[in-house]
Chain A
Amino acid sequence: MDRKLERILPLVQKPARYIGGELNSVIKNKDEVDIRFAFCFPDSYEIGMSHLGMKILYSIANNREDTWCERVFAPWDDMEEQMRKNNIPLYALESGDPVKDFDIIGFTLQYELCYTNVLNMLDLAGLPVKARDRHSLSPIVMGGGPCVCNPEPIAEFFDLFSLGEGEEVNSEIMDLYKKHKKMGSTKEEFLIEAAKIEGVYVPSLYDITYNEDGTIKETKPLHGAPEKVTKRIIKDLDKVEYPENFVVPYIDVVHDRVTHEIFRGCIRGCRFCQAGFIYRPIREKNPDTINEQCKTLCKNTGYDEISLCSLSSSDYTKIEELLTKLLEWTGSEKVNIALPSLRVDNFSDELVKKLTGVRRSGLTFAPEAGTQRMRDVINKNVTEEELLETARIAFNNGYSAVKLYFMLGLPTETLEDVEGIGFLAKKVVDEFYMNPDKPKGKGCTVGISASSFVPKPFTPFQWEPQSTPEELETKQEHLKNNLPSKKISVSFHHIPTSFLEGVFARGDRRLGAVIEKAWEKGCKFDGWSEKFLFDTWMETFKELKVSPEFYANRRRDYEEVLPWDHLDFGVSKAFLMKESKKAYEAETTPHCRIKCAGCSANKLNGGKCDV
């Protein structure tokens, strides 16, 4: 271990975040590989180490003999200060080598508020933050993850983006890179070729022009780059590589367990939900594959908990079969199973009985809106009866705490809809007291968590104005003042953070300058409310004469060229428009298993959809 580093580690919080050497981390001989890949998560170690996508892509890259993939996280303030003071550049955890000497630096972009951390990490590495100021072929800075469905605000910092699922396309990018490295190509030569790989978006190959009103006039591809870049998907989840090993952190991270994805995509089509659209089409994984892989992972990591993850676990068609298979061995091995993301309308007695075999905590459901009209607008397709029935099942099975997720600021929302949240929660409380077998001497608690709705690209609400901070404040106050029971507690999401998220989510390239300037002024870790410098952000917008409201609070015409129109995530714009119009009529769309809604995402999978 580097002596300089060894001297500063006793001075920082949780130094184990910065040492590497965790179980199952991959060590290779750097002289025997062609490509060194720095996989960066632009947030703290605890957040990044919880991310499943990183585990998958880390494993696949390291399965290549010619590649050594290492992990990099954003150092916390105290560590950054020490690193800058002692001239220690950003390094990768496995080798301790400086990130700037790597061939490819890949960032996973999971949420908009991590953007300043990307800049900060590049700077800590000793690299210019703008792509055009990094001249040589290496390092190539690439980005992936859900935020690249509109990467325009950060386009000038990246050389390329990988759209959609990365398992296959990353390898294709690495193959091409290796070829060009051998040939001694320039970065430009490599990028022009890379843009020909399906799913690769090279932002420097697109020229954007604007109208006088500030909207986009045209996005023009250059040097033979495609008019539209289509995201990549994995066609068969049973055949794609899944890690047999997870790096097991020493310190307590957010999700410290075996995580296993059971399917991708979602059948529901809730109109506010970006994940529900951009991960389509729906593809399920075979329960036997999942069961075997869980066994291997538990064995190799020593974890005693498995979390089955997806966008809506109870929509997995073979959920009961899978649980039966898992419970055959998890009991004797003292392994717990967690099943997050349950829906209220297919939460069966059977399922909850299976779950009560394992350790129990509270239950969480997401009705998202308080009135039926509002739930119809967002196409949640959950009725009050279903929610109450679910609460009844849960209470009958011994649960006494229920958490309910709602959103404020949804399109067409009125104060009546807001009050409805409290009334609905009250009915859940009443269910508890109506239960004749309720545990004696034990009260029930219903926690409401109300976040602020942020319209996102590739959803039917992508044209909607986001509620202004003032409107959201009024609604939060209104909800707080109209709670009908003392058994209900309510917590809110921080409004300024949602506002900035809203600006970036649907922003264009002109926001790059704002992000860079705000970062220079000290903005980073914006997702952490204690680090978030809202005033600095607002001051920066003003200084650069960029209106954040233009991006967050403006209604777009259907005809407007959107900053992400040259990217294709499967779901067609015509479908989103149709859904948007139906929302205004409070007309619902049945889920994909009842009737195909014609979203077009199945074109990515040869017309196939696992419904």
Chain B
Amino acid sequence: MYDLRLFLSKKGRIKFVSHLDMFRMMQRTVRRADIPLWYTEGFNPHPYISFLLALSLGVESEGEPVDIRITGDMSPEEVKERLNKCLPEGLKVEAACVPFNKSGEITYGEYYCLFDKTEVSEAELYNALTSGELSCEKSGKQGKKKVIKTVNVSEHIKSFSLSDAGDDIKLYVVLPAGSTFNLNPIQLSSAISAFLGKEVIPVKVMRTALLTADMKKFS
């Protein structure tokens, strides 16, 4: 028995499948692929599959970490191969390896977003991102009560860069991610919208990697 960490890319229309639904999809894929998975021993045994960090609806990814536990001696290579034969369109295991980091070490998410040039200019985006005045509302919990908090977005942008990508403007950005505090590019763009006073919605958002506190790739 050993733990295995998969990095699962999620591209195209499947980005509209939610975190919860991804879990169920993965359970079925593992069954079809006939992978000897360890089952939890509770009242309703289910295969141990853990998506380490939720990915917002509508966001694509180049590699989401998913932990599974293999019983028996199927090699990581074979698990990867079998899963890739059975995964639905848009999903692919990019890598399978023995976990190096602990899931709690995830600190940042690295993304790129595409913005339509007819909706917003590079200069506008640059102004917004360097204004120091970006903020958005985020729902959170205070005890059991749901509350809306205003979050200072500017202070959480770890780094960013803008570049030209044909019809679009490409924004690379590193934002906090992990179990303690999260900020996603959709929230960032609503902060930008509020700052610019017009609706700015990215046409594509891709999470390229998760990073640890020392900015190394989570693996």
Residues of A near any B CB (own CB < 8 A) = 1, 3, 6-7, 9-10, 15-16, 18-23, 248, 250-252, 298-304, 334, 359
What are 10 of the A-B contact pairs (CB < 8 Å)?
Answer: A6-B203, A9-B16, A16-B17, A19-B13, A252-B24, A302-B27, A302-B32, A304-B27, A304-B31, A334-B39
Q: With A9-B58, A303-B28, A304-B31 given, is the CB distance from A21 to B14 under 8 Å?
A: yes
Q: Does B81 contact A (CB under 8 A)?
A: no
Other A-B pairs, 5, CB within 8 Å; known A6-B13, A252-B21: A21-B14, A21-B88, A250-B14, A301-B28, A302-B27
In the complex the two chains form, what is the Cα distance from A18 to B21 in whole Å? 15
| Interfacial chain B residues near A10, Cβ < 8 Å | 16, 57-58, 201
| Interfacial chain A residues near B31, Cβ < 8 Å | 298, 302-304
Cross-chain contact B25 with A1 (CB below 8 angstroms): no
Cross-chain contact B203 with A3 (CB below 8 angstroms): yes
Cross-chain contact B89 with A334 (CB below 8 angstroms): no
In the complex the two chains form, what is the Cα distance from A34 to B45 in whole Å? 48
Q: Does B29 contact A (CB under 8 A)?
A: yes
Q: Does B71 contact A (CB under 8 A)?
A: no
Expressed in whole angstroms, the minimum distance between the Cβ of A408 and any Cβ of chain B is 37
Expressed in whole angstroms, the minimum distance between the Cβ of B26 and any Cβ of chain A is 10
In the complex the two chains form, what is the Cα distance from A3 to B167 in whole Å? 13
Q: Which chain A residue shows the least CB distance to B87?
A: A23
Number of chain B interface residues as a range: 20 to 34
Cross-chain contact B18 with A16 (CB below 8 angstroms): yes
Cross-chain contact B21 with A301 (CB below 8 angstroms): no
The 8 Å CB contact of B16, one of A15, A23, A334, A359, is A15
Q: What total count of A-B pairs have CB within 8 Å?
A: 68
Expressed in whole angstroms, the minimum distance between the Cβ of A251 and any Cβ of chain B is 5
In the complex the two chains form, what is the Cα distance from A121 to B212 in whole Å? 50
| Interfacial chain B residues near A16, Cβ < 8 Å | 16-18, 21
Q: Does B90 contact A (CB under 8 A)?
A: yes
| Interfacial chain B residues near A298, Cβ < 8 Å | 31
Cross-chain contact A302 with B29 (CB below 8 angstroms): yes
Q: Enumerate the 3 nearest inter-chain pairs by beta-carbon distance, A residue then B residue, closest first.
A: A302-B28, A15-B16, A302-B32
Q: Does B139 contact A (CB under 8 A)?
A: no
Cross-chain contact A19 with B16 (CB below 8 angstroms): yes
Expressed in whole angstroms, the minimum distance between the Cβ of A204 and any Cβ of chain B is 40
Q: Does B12 contact A (CB under 8 A)?
A: yes
In the complex the two chains form, what is the Cα distance from A21 to B12 in whole Å? 10
| Interfacial chain A residues near B203, Cβ < 8 Å | 3, 6-7
| Interfacial chain A residues near B29, Cβ < 8 Å | 302
Expressed in whole angstroms, the minimum distance between the Cβ of A398 and any Cβ of chain B is 14
Cross-chain contact A21 with B45 (CB below 8 angstroms): no
In the complex the two chains form, what is the Cα distance from A15 to B57 in whole Å? 9
Q: Does B44 contact A (CB under 8 A)?
A: yes
Expressed in whole angstroms, the minimum distance between the Cβ of A91 and any Cβ of chain B is 13
Interface residues of B in 16-69 (CB under 8 A from A): 16-18, 21, 24-25, 27-32, 39, 44-45, 57-58
| Interfacial chain B residues near A301, Cβ < 8 Å | 28, 32
In the complex the two chains form, what is the Cα distance from A489 to B58 in whole Å? 43
Cross-chain contact A19 with B28 (CB below 8 angstroms): no
